[in-house]
Amino acid sequence: MTAVIDKPAADFSGKPSRWAAPPRPAWEEEPSRAGLAGKGLALTLAALAILFPLWIVIVTSLQSRKTIDAAGGLVVIPRGITFVAYKELLTGGQVQRAPMVSLGVTLVGTLFSMAVSVLCAYGLSRIGSLGHRWLLMLLLATMFFGAGLIPTYLLVQALGLTDTYLALILPSAVSVFNILVLRSFFMGISPELIDSARIDGAGDWRILWTIVMPLSRAVLAVISLFYAVGYWSAWFNASIYLTDQDMMPLQNVMIQLVQKQERPVGLATQINTGQLSPLAIQMAVMVMALLPVAILSPFVQRHFKKGMLTGAVKG
């Protein structure tokens, strides 16, 4: 990494590489060698602090029992690759169901949350529409108080949602913050465009679907990612609203298997006979939890700034 940012490449022929530095303004002094080295070192350390733990987890999940035993536990330098831990996980019981449960809740929940939030944001995006101020107040007020854990818990119970997947979706389905971000993005779309569509006879549904949404792909991607990560990462609601162990999502299974070091149901024989390392199983569960997020978020990254800052705190 230090090598990359060491010397500015004076490449003026053709298209400059995105790795190269753009030309420096005349008034700016050339960076000192020590300064560059320090910067490179700081960046490398920060990156290592984040990536090294993930490296250990991923590598260990791909090792055979023999390698793991030889290393005395976690493996830093891989010796060969085996997918035996994943294979066993995906053929056995509770741990096989958990990723599917998480995937299902995440997909259904994100679609539902997005539909509800986009509709609400569009409905509130026309300043001066009937009830606009009152409805907005109703949303904004919730940023100052939470409902409280106990009354929410009692409500979910009273509604009969316990032991259903609805309990994992409905109570956290709308985020007022996300609605406000969407709304301020929608409000930035040129009103002339919307007015001309209206004159051509388009109703609000049509305007939303054919004009507003295609113009808002960036913010829709960011907010979808926020919702999806929220559902994928959630474990607390499942821990208080679900009692059936077979219904538990991946995060809750991870608490049992990795944090509390319990043996996975259905894999006991393979572990006891020495075919499988319990550690590899644990690491494989962690990889399953981190992989979708790690793959998705860089794609949405270039939109973060827009999505985060488009008047996020505007009233």
Partner 1 sequence: MSHSTVPRSRAEAKTTDQQTAPGPAKKRAASGRRTGKISFRLRFRRDRTLILMTLPAIALILVFTYIPVLGNVVAFQDYDPYLSDNGFVAMFESPWVGFENFQRIFEDSAFWHAVQNTFVLFFLQLVLYFPIPILLALLINSVVRPRVRAVAQAIMYLPHFFSWVLVVTVFQQIFGGAGIIAQTLRQHGHKGIDLMTDPGIFKFLVTAEGVWKDAGWGIIVFLAALSSVSNDLYEAAAMDGAGRWRRMWHVTLPALRPVIALLLVLRVGDALTVGFEQLLLQRDSVGPGASEVLDTYVWWNGIRNQDFGYAAAAGLIKGIVGLGLVLTANKVAHLMGEQGVYKK
- Please, which of residues 80-109 interact with partner 1 by CB under 8 A? none
Q: Which of 11, 70, 79, 131 binds partner 1 (CB under 8 A)?
A: 131
Closest CA to 157 of 242, 231, 235, 230: 242
Length of the chain: 315
Token couple for 312: 């996020």
Candidates 77-85, 92-100, 127-135, 213-221; binding stretch for partner 1 (CB under 8 A): 127-135
Q: Where are the alpha helices (DSSP H) in 62-92?
A: 65-71, 84-89
Are 257 and 281 contacting, i.e. CB atoms less than 8 angstroms apart? yes
- Return the axis-axis angle of helices 217-233 and 278-300, rounded to nearest 10°: 160
Find the binding residues for partner 1 in span 7-26 (CB under 8 A): 17-22, 24-25
> Which C-beta is closer to partner 1: that of 42 or that of 268?
42
> Which C-beta is closer to partner 1: that of 96 or that of 152?
152
The torsion angle over the Cα atoms of residues 272, 275, 277 and 282, rounded to 10 degrees, is -90
Q: How far is the CB of 13 from partner 1 (least distance, A)?
A: 18
Find the binding residues for partner 1 in span 268-297 (CB under 8 A): 283, 286, 289-290, 293-294, 296-297
Contacts 24+ apart (CB under 8 A), 9-16: none
- Contacts (Cβ under 8 Å, ≥6 apart) of 245: 94
150 binds partner 1 (CB under 8 A): yes
Candidates 86-94, 140-148, 215-223, 268-276; binding stretch for partner 1 (CB under 8 A): 140-148
Token couple for 233: 């990462």
259 binds partner 1 (CB under 8 A): yes
Find the binding residues for partner 1 in span 196-225 (CB under 8 A): 196, 198-199, 203-205, 208, 225
DSSP state of 28: S
> Which C-beta is closer to partner 1: that of 12 or that of 260?
260
Per-residue string for binding with partner 1, 174-193, x by CB under 8 A?
x-x--x-----------x--
Candidates 78-86, 89-97, 142-150, 269-277; binding stretch for partner 1 (CB under 8 A): 142-150
> Which C-beta is closer to partner 1: that of 91 or that of 243?
243
**Interface with partner 1: number of residues (CB under 8 A):** 114
Q: Cα(86)–Cα(222) distance, rounded to whole angstroms?
A: 30
Q: Which of 124, 247, 276, 284 binds partner 1 (CB under 8 A)?
A: 124
Give the gyration radius of the chain's Cα atoms: 25
